[in-house]
Amino acid sequence: MNNCGIGKLITLEGPEGAGKTTQSEALLQWLVKAGYNPVVTREPGGTDLGRRIRHMLLDAGSDITDKAEILLYAADRAQHVEKVIIPALRQGRIVLCDRYIDSTTAYQGYARGLGTEFVEQVNRIATGGLVPDLTLIYDIPPDKGIARKKSSLDRLEQEDLEFHRLVREGYLMIARREPSRVKVINALNDIETVTRESVEAVKTLLRG
C-alpha cells in the first residue's frame, strides 16, 4: 500500500516506443466505465513547473550533465508528488502516472551509470518515500521501440542503442527485484492483448 493509506498509485513504465500512452488511455477508459474517477498524469511534466523542466530535459539542444539531469527529473517529481499525486491519493482516487521512480532507476541509474543506490536516495528525497501500489512495465527490445517513433527524436531518444539496451535491462532488473509490485507486459503483442493484460493487473490490485 502507498504511504498515503488510501487511493492507489499505478505507474506505467518502459523503454521508448513501448506504447505506454496508448495503454494509459485504455486504462483510463476502463476505470471510468468501472465507476472510478482516476487522475491521469505523467513525469516529467505533470505540473506547470514540470512542463518547463520537461522542455529543458528533452530539448535535443540542451547540454546537461548526468547529475544535473537526475536532479531536474527529481525536481519535477518533488513538485508533482506534492501538488498532484498526494492530494489525489488523499481523496481516495486512482492515479495513473506515465513514468515515475523506475524511469530514474532505469535511465539514470542503469543507462547513465549513476548507480541504483544514488538513484534510490534521490528518489526518496523527491517522493518522501511514496512507492507505487502497482507498476506495469511495457517491455520491448530497443531497436523495435525506437523504430516505432514517428516524430523527430528528443534528447533521450537520440542516445545510442547500447543506452536503450541498458534502460531495458534496468527495467527487467527492477521487475526481478520487486515481483509483488511490478508486472512485466510484452509490448510486442497486439494492442488488445496488451490492454487485456493491463486491465487484469489493475483488477487484481483493486480486488486487493
In the complex with ligand TMP, the residue whose CB is nearer, 79 or 108, is 108
Radius of gyration of the chain (CA): 16
38 cis-preceded (ω within 30 degrees of 0): no
List contacts with ligand TMP (CB under 6 A): 16, 42-44, 73, 99, 103-104, 107-108, 156
Residues 117 and 148: their CA atoms lie apart, in Å, by 32
Q: Strand order in 94-98's β-sheet?
A: 39-42, 94-98, 8-13, 134-139, 182-186
In the complex with ligand TMP, the residue whose CB is nearer, 73 or 171, is 73
Residues 155 and 57: their CA atoms lie apart, in Å, by 7
Minimal distance, residue 161 CB to ligand TMP, in Å = 14
In the complex with ligand TMP, the residue whose CB is nearer, 104 or 195, is 104
Minimal distance, residue 123 CB to ligand TMP, in Å = 9
Minimal distance, residue 160 CB to ligand TMP, in Å = 14
In the complex with ligand TMP, the residue whose CB is nearer, 119 or 184, is 119
Minimal distance, residue 108 CB to ligand TMP, in Å = 6
What three-state secondary structure class fits 134? strand
Minimal distance, residue 85 CB to ligand TMP, in Å = 13
Closest by CA position to 20, among listed 123, 171, 125: 171
Question: If 0-12 CB within 10 Å is exposed, 13-18 middle and 19+ buried, where does residue 124 land?
Answer: middle
Q: Which three cell numbers stand for residue 56?
A: 529543458
Buried b (16+ CB within 10 A) or exposed e, 67-96: eebbbbbbebbbbbbeebbbebbeeebbbb
In the complex with ligand TMP, the residue whose CB is nearer, 7 or 44, is 44
Minimal distance, residue 185 CB to ligand TMP, in Å = 16
In the complex with ligand TMP, the residue whose CB is nearer, 23 or 103, is 103
